[in-house]
């Protein structure tokens, strides 16, 4: 069902499910590469990412916005265990419906079955592009009914994985010095 003929497709991203599912596979998603991939492969003109707001993560939020995501924040709660919780499900569904008339098709990025009713509604109204599931080995069985619409991220590690830039060692050459020029001449 992956079609790019519609050029005004929106993505609605469950950041918690995406992040945890990718990390459970022992890799880290490069959000800059991911945004470009969404544009190139799916014609995504707007990518809404739903995330719990934690003040210490301001640099992450700034980066996401710089990469072209529309960041939608959910207030978080700190549980007695110290775990931070920010459930974004209602916000994602609400925004998908608020924006409904503005997009041709929606790409829903999650493996969480709580979004089944949204996905089913979009499918029945010919507004569903795909459901992108971060981990083919761990997603809601409710989505199995939608097999033709499912795409998985497991095989995208090489294409979308974050890799640290390694600094090149200078091999005895001073910065700014031309190695082709003999200093003794």
Instruction: Reply yes or no on whether the pLDDT at 174 is more than 80.
Output: no
Higher pLDDT, 76 or 155: 155
pTM tops 0.85, yes or no: no
What per-residue confidence (pLDDT) applies to 80? 86
Structure tokens at 156: 């995208």
Whole-angstrom Cα distance, residue 5 to residue 14? 25
- Cβ distance 137 to 111 under 8 Å? no
Domain 9-160, CATH homologous superfamily name and number:
5'-nuclease (3.40.50.1010)
The ranges assigned to domains in the chain are 9-160
According to DSSP, the residues that pair with 46 across neighbouring strands are 10
pLDDT tens string 110-132: 988 889 999 999 999 999 999 99
Separation of alpha carbons 75 and 59, rounded Å? 17
With a CB cutoff of 8 Å and minimum separation 6, the contacts of 24 are: 135, 138
């Amino acid at each position: 069902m992956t079609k790019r003929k519609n050029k005004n497709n929106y993505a609605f991203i469950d950041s918690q499910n995406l992040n945890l599912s990718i990390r459970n596979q022992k890799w880290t998603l490069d959000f800059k590469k991911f945004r470009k991939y969404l544009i190139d492969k799916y014609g995504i003109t707007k990518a809404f990412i739903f995330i719990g707001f934690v003040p210490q993560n301001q640099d992450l939020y700034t980066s996401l916005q710089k990469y072209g995501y529309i960041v939608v924040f959910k207030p978080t709660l700190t549980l007695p265990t110290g775990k931070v919780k920010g459930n974004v499900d209602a916000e994602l569904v609400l925004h998908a419906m608020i924006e409904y008339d503005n997009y041709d098709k929606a790409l829903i990025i999650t493996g969480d079955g709580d979004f089944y009713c949204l996905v089913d509604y979009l499918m029945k109204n010919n507004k569903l592009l795909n459901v992108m599931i971060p981990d083919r080995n761990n997603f809601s069985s409710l989505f199995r009914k939608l097999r033709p619409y499912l795409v998985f991220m497991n095989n995208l590690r090489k294409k979308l994985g974050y890799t640290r830039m390694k600094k090149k060692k200078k091999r005895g050459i001073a910065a700014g010095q031309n190695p082709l020029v003999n200093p003794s001449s």
